[in-house]
Amino acid sequence: MRTRFCWQAKLVILSKAMPCYKAACSKEGEQQHEAAVRISRQQAGIAIHVSSIIRMDNQSNTFCAQTSQLTQTDGASGLTLLQGKARDCANEVRLKGHEVDTVLGNPPPQLQLDKALLADAKWFNKRWLTAFNQGAAPKSPFSFFPGEGGEARRTITSWVDQVKSESPLDLTPDVAIDTGVFKYVLLVVTDTEEGRSKLIVRGDRQSGYHVDVFEKTVRELAPYKLHVAEPLGGGRIRHDDGSKTISIYGYSSAYGQAPHDLSAAIVRQWYPMYAPDKITVSYEGY
């Protein structure tokens, strides 16, 4: 039974980050899509039907072995990426459009697997992969990498190298949550020297109130000169690492209700080993 790694914007089994499909890899009279099918069969031992190959417009000479439509509406951006109660909460906590874009603005296509060929494939966020290599991200069942010298290994290494950074903001995990039931907050953390920021999710069982979670995060990040703004709402999280399920719900009496759909999107990126439909959202309860 085979398992293959799938990375944002390209599949390892097809990633050939060089313009060789047409120039060097394609045989005379062979189309680029046909070359991709042939190379994946020769190098990875995986048969892919030519009709399932699509070209990613934002990646030169990069192919993805699946077809689907993006989950978001074409051209949507900012708060328009959120709907219903999520957008109402975003407006109430004054969430900014560009902050939503950083999480939802460029979603990967949905994976559609032929189970006869692939046992599993997942999207992995590059920041998560970097943190995982540094021991700062949740453990994954994919605790191994392809062997040295292989095309898959080179692809993984090159992608990690692209996001290597000593910036305190980049080294700060996007998600740090406990197991069990606990209160959580959605935060914006900013590197004032670099002028960059990102959304993070924080929560733990030891903090009795949402303000405790907030103040704890401020203390933890203060030595790195990172500014943590007042929470963009909060709620509760029920996390069962045994069944690999996470439920995000409720509200914060101090900071209001967070747009849980956005929090869930961040958590899904940080827990790629959890099935996306096992990370659920509800705007009910406390």
Q: Catalytic site residue 33? A: no
Instruction: Provide the pairing of β-strand 226-228 with 175-177.
Output: unpaired
Q: How many CA atoms lie within 13 A of 153 on its CB side?
A: 7
Q: Is 67 left (phi over 0), alpha (psi -120 to 50) or beta?
A: beta
Greatest alpha-carbon pair distance for the chain in Å reads: 68
DSSP notation for 59-104: STT-EES-----SSPTT--GGGGS-HHHHHHHHHTT--HHHHHHHH
Amino acid identity, residue 10? Answer: K
Q: Active-site residue among 33, 49, 98, 210?
A: 210
Q: Tokens 């096992």 belong to which residue? A: 278
Q: Tokens 């914060």 belong to which residue? A: 252
Nearest to 167 by CA among 221, 216, 230, 203: 221
User: Which spans in 138-259 are helix H?
Assistant: 151-163, 168-171, 210-221
Amino acid identity, residue 266? Answer: I
Annotated catalytic residues are 210
